[in-house]
Amino acid sequence: MIICANPSAQFQSYQSEIEAAVLNVLRSNRYILGTEVEVLEREFAEYIGVDYAIGVANGTDALELALRALGIGSGDEVITVSHTAVATVAAIEAAGAIPVLVDVDEKFYTLNPDQLSKVCTQKTRAVIAVHIYGQSADLDAIGDFCKKNGLALIEDVAQAHGATWKGKRLGSIGDIGCFSCYPTKNLGAIGDAGLVTTSNKELARKIRMLREYGWQERYISDIPGRNSRLDELQAAILRVKLRYLDDDNKKRRVIAAQYANFLGDQSIQIPEIRENAEHVFHLYVIRTKQRQNLVDHLKSHEIHCGIHYPQPIHLQPAYKGRIRTADSMQVTESLSQEVLSLPIYPELDAQKIRKVTETISYFNRS
C-alpha cells in the first residue's frame, strides 16, 4: 500500500537520534518550556533568518497569538484565502477578528493580490498570506499592498518550512511567520507543535507573554493570555529533524521532478513553480476533471491520495453565508472539485513513484 504521507517513515530514518533526544528529556527535570525549547527557538530563528522564534502548542495557536500580539481583535478584519486549511480562518475568529476571504490565482493557487483592494475596508488590519502546498505566495505584490494600506503581513508557513522567496526563507519576510509542526509537515513533531517567527522585539515579547497567561513574572498576568506552551519532548524531536530539513526538502524536490517527468504529457495539470520561489513540495498536487474516477482507480491499486481541500471554507457549514468574500471565488471553487494530492514524503522510493505514475498513465489511456 502507498499512502499520501508517512511520518512514521521519517521517525524510522532518524530513530536512534530521536529516541536519544526523548530519553534525555525524560531523564531531566524540565518538561515544559525548558532548555530544549529555548535551544530550538534559537536554532529555528537562525535557520529562518530572523531575530526571534517562539515555540507554541500548534500552528493554529501560532496564528491566533500573532494576531493578538499585533493588537488585532474584536471588530477588526483580516484578509486571507478560502483555499486553505480551516485552521487559518479558525485562528482569526479565535482572536476575535473577522475573516474576509479572497480567491487564489489560477497557476499557483495562492492569494490573488488583485482582489485585495476590492475587499479592503477601514476595518482591515492584516493580511494572512498562505504559502500553500510548499510554495510562496506573491509576497512582493501582497507586501506592497500591505505597506500602502498600513496593514500587517502575516505569513502562514504551515506547509512551507524551508521554502524561499527571492532567496529569503518564508517566515522572515512579513511582520510575523507562523508554522505548524503537525507530524505530516516538512518539519513535523510527533504530536502537536508550532512556532512563530519575527524580527520585531516587541512582538516577540508579547507572543511569549500571550502563550503563558500574559506572564513576564511567574504567576503575575500583565496582559490577558492563555496556555499555548511547547513541551520539551516535541522541541527535542524538532531539533533532530531541523538538522535534516534541507536534505529532506531536496528529496521532496527530486520526487516532484520524477512525477513531473512521468506525468508532464498526461491529461492532468501538474504543479507550476513560481519564478523567484523555491518550492519544498509539502504536497504534490495535480489537477484533473476526472478526480473521483482517478481516486477510485488509484485505490483499486492500493494507492491512497489526499484532497487539499475538498470544500472551500466559505462553503463549509460552519461558515457558509456568514463570512464576507470577494465577488468572485471561481478558482477556489473549481480547485475544490479538481485537486488531488499524490503521495510524497522524503522516504518514498523510486519503485513506488513509478507505480503511482504508471497507474495514472494506465487510467489516462483507458
Residue 362 pLDDT level (bands cut at 50, 70, 90)? confident
User: What's the CA dihedral at 325, 329, 333, 338 to 10 degrees?
Assistant: -140
What is the reported pLDDT for 138?
98
pLDDT band at 339; cut points 50, 70, 90: very high
Ordered DSSP codes for 157-221:
-TT-TT-EETTEETTSSSSEEEEE--TTSSS--SS--EEEEES-HHHHHHHHHHTBTTEEETTEE
Contact (Cβ atoms closer than 8 angstroms) between residue 253 and residue 280: yes
Sequence-ordered list of residues with C-beta below 8 angstroms from that of 163, at least 6 positions apart, any chain: 131, 134, 135, 136, 157, 169, 170, 249, 277, 278, 279, 280
In tens, the pLDDT along 74-103 reads 999 999 999 999 999 999 999 999 999 999
The strand pair at 168-169 and 164-165 is best described as antiparallel
pLDDT at 366: 72
pLDDT for 363 beyond 90: no
Q: How far is CA 58 from the centre of its chain?
A: 11
Tell me the pLDDT tens digit for each residue of 175-185: 999 999 999 99
What grid cell was written down for 252?
A: 521532496
Dump pLDDT digits (tens) for 202-255: 999 999 999 999 999 999 999 999 999 999 999 999 999 999 999 999 999 999
> In 3-state terms, what secondary structure has residue 279?
coil
Average of per-residue pLDDT across 279-304: 97
**3-state DSSP assignment of residue 92:** helix
Cell (9 digits) for 50: 530572523
Find, among 344, 356, 366, 364, the residue nearest to 266 by Cα.
Answer: 364
Looking at residue 93, its pLDDT comes to: 98
Q: Does the model's pTM come out above 0.95? A: yes
How confident is residue 343, by pLDDT bands cut at 50, 70 and 90? Answer: very high
* Residue 109 exposed, middle or buried by CB count within 10 Å (0-12, 13-18, 19+): buried
Q: Can you list the domains of the chain with their CATH numbers?
A: 7-102+109-242 (3.40.640.10), 245-365 (3.90.1150.10)
Does residue 14 have a cis bond before it (omega within 30 degrees)?
no
